[in-house]
C-alpha cells in the first residue's frame, strides 16, 4: 500500500479530523494500516514523513504535518539512554522539561534580494547562522555581498528550543537533551512538565568541536498522564511490567532465563521506573514464586501460567 491508499482508506478519519495544520496518528494505527510505511517512518523519518506530507498535498491538503505518536515498545527511552546508532531515526524520549526558550522566527528558506539588480536569491537554511548567497544568481550581475532579506518571500517557521532532563535519575548531573519544536508544537510545554516527545534524533549541522552535539527535532508531544515519580505508580503495575520483561527477555536466553541487568534496563527505559522499584518488584515476584533470581545475576520464570497482577475489583 502507498500513502495515498492509507490516507484514503484506514487513516481517512484522521485526515478528516485534522486540525491546526496537522494530523495526529498513533503509530500502532499506522502499523496496522501498512507495516512497511510504519517502519519507514521509524527508520528513515525524513523520507517517510516527507513522502506522507507530499501525498497529503497531492490529495489537496496543503501544509498539513503528519504527527506520529505512541511509538512501539523499545523505541521510547529516557533522556540519554539511546546511542549514536539511532541517529536519523524516530525515537520517543521521556523526560522533564527543565528549560524553555522564547519562540523565534526561523527561516527554512531565506530570500535575499540583490541590492544591485533586485533578483531574489532563495537559500535553504541549515540552522544557526544565516547562510547568504555567494554571488547573485543573475549572471549579468556581479554582486557578492549586498543583500537585503526579503521576509515576504522567505519561508519562516515558528521555532522554540526546549531542554529535557532525565527523570528518576540518582546522578548529580542527569543527562539532558535539546529539543526543537516547530510551528504548532511551540508553546505547548512548560518547565516542570513530564513529557514524551517523539522526534528525529540528529546531530547539529554546524559542528564546531569533535564531540557532535545532538538534538531531537520534535514531531509530537504527549504530556505524561502517569506521574513522573514512580512512588505514585501502583505496585502491581511495576510487578506486571517486570514479569512481562523477564518473560520477553527469557525467550532470547539459552535456558529460558535472562540477566537481572537487562530486566532493570528494559523496565526503566520503557516506563521510566527507578531501578530500586524494579528490584523490589523482582523480590516480590520471587516471594510469590513467579520468578527465581540466582546469585550470578540471572533471573528466570518459575510459574507455568501467567499470573494476574491487576487488583480484582
For binding to Zn ion (CB under 5 A), which residues are involved?
A: 114, 116-117, 119, 136, 138, 141, 143
Smallest gap from Cβ 147 to Zn ion, in A, equals 9
Give 162's strand partners.
Answer: 100, 179
Cβ closest to Zn ion, residue 138 vs residue 222: 138
| 64 contacts 18 by C-beta, under 8 angstroms | yes
H helices then E strands: how many in the chain? 8, 14
**Cell numbers standing for residue 201:** 534524533
Least distance to Zn ion from the beta carbon of 126, Å?
A: 23
Alpha-carbon span 140 to 238, nearest angstrom: 71
Would you state the cell numbers that stand for residue 197, as one nine-digit string?
Answer: 516527545
* CB-nearer residue toward Zn ion: 147 or 241: 147
What cell was used for 20? Answer: 491546526
Residue 145 Cβ vs Zn ion, minimum distance, rounded to whole Å: 11
Quote the strand ranges of the chain, DSSP E.
22-26, 65-69, 76-78, 90-100, 104-114, 120-124, 147-149, 155-165, 176-182, 194-203, 214-223, 257-259, 291-293, 298-301
Q: What is the smallest separation between the CB atom of 144 and Zn ion, expressed in angstroms?
A: 9
Q: Specify whether the CB–CB gap between 36 and 210 falls below 8 A.
A: no
CB of 146 or CB of 212, closer to Zn ion: 146
197: three-class secondary structure by DSSP: strand
Q: Which is nearer to Zn ion, 121 or 154 (CB)?
A: 121
Measured from the CB of residue 149, what is the shortest distance to Zn ion in angstroms? 15
Nearer to Zn ion, 139 or 295 (CB): 139
- The C-alpha cell 505518536 sits at 69
| Shortest reach from residue 110's CB to Zn ion, in Å | 16
- Least CB distance to Zn ion at residue 148 (A): 12
Nearer to Zn ion, 111 or 299 (CB): 111
- Closest approach, Cβ 134 to Zn ion, in A, equals 12
Give CA–CA dist 66/157, Å, rounded.
16
What count of Cα atoms within 13 Å lies in the side-chain half-sphere of residue 72? 12
CB 95 within 8 A of CB 177: yes
Between residues 62 and 139, which has the closer beta carbon with respect to Zn ion?
A: 139
Q: Report the sign of the C-alpha dihedral through residues 213, 217, 223, 227, in that order.
A: negative
DSSP state of 19: B
Decide whether 153 or 252 has the Cβ nearer to Zn ion: 153
Amino acid at each position: 500500500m502507498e500513502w495515498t491508499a492509507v490516507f484514503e482508506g484506514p487513516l481517512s478519519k484522521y485526515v478528516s479530523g485534522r486540525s491546526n495544520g496537522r494530523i495526529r496518528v498513533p503509530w500502532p494505527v499506522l502499523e496496522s494500516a501498512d507495516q512497511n510505511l510504519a517502519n519507514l517512518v521509524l527508520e528513515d523519518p525524513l523520507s517517510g514523513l516527507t513522502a506522507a506530507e507530499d501525498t497529503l498535498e497531492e490529495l489537496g491538503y496543503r501544509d498539513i504535518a503528519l504527527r506520529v505518536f505512541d511509538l512501539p515498545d523499545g523505541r521510547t527511552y529516557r533522556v540519554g539512554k539511546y546511542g549514536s546508532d539511532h541517529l536519523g531515526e524516530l525515537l520517543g524520549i521521556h523526560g522533564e522539561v527543565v528549560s524553555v526558550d522564547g519562540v523565534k522566527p526561523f527561516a527554512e528558506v531565506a530570500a535575499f534580494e540583490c541590492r544591485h539588480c533586485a533578483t531574489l536569491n532563495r537559500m535553504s537554511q541549515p540552522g544557526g547562522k544565516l547562510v547568504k548567497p555567494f554571488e547573485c544568481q543573475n549572471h549579468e550581475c556581479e554582486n557578492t555581498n549586498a543583500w537585503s532579506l526579503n521576509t515576504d518571500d522567505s519561508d519562516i517557521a515558528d521555532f522554540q528550543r526546549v531542554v529535557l532532563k532525565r527523570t528518576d535519575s540518582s546522578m548529580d548531573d542527569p543527562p539532558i537533551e535539546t529539543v526543537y519544536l516547530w510551528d504548532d508544537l511551540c508553546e505547548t510545554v512548560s518547565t516542570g512538565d513530564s513529557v514524551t516527545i517523539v522526534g528525529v534524533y540528529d546531530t547539529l549541522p554546524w559542528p564546531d568541536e569533535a564531540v557532535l552535539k545532538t538534538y531531537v527535532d520534535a514531531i509530537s508531544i504527549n504530556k505524561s498522564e502517569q506521574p513522573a515519580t514512580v512512588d505514585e505508580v501502583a505496585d502491581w503495575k511495576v510487578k506486571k511490567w517486570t514479569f512481562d520483561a523477564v518473560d520477553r527477555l527469557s525467550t532470547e536466553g539459552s535456558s529460558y532465563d535472562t540477566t537481572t541487568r537487562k530486566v532493570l534496563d528494559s523496565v526503566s527505559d520503557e516506563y521510566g521506573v527507578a531501578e530500586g522499584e524494579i528490584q523490589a518488584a523482582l523480590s516480590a515476584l520471587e516471594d510469590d514464586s513467579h520468578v527465581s533470581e540466582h546469585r550470578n545475576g540471572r533471573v528466570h520464570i518459575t510459574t507455568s501460567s501467567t499470573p494476574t497482577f491487576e487488583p480484582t475489583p
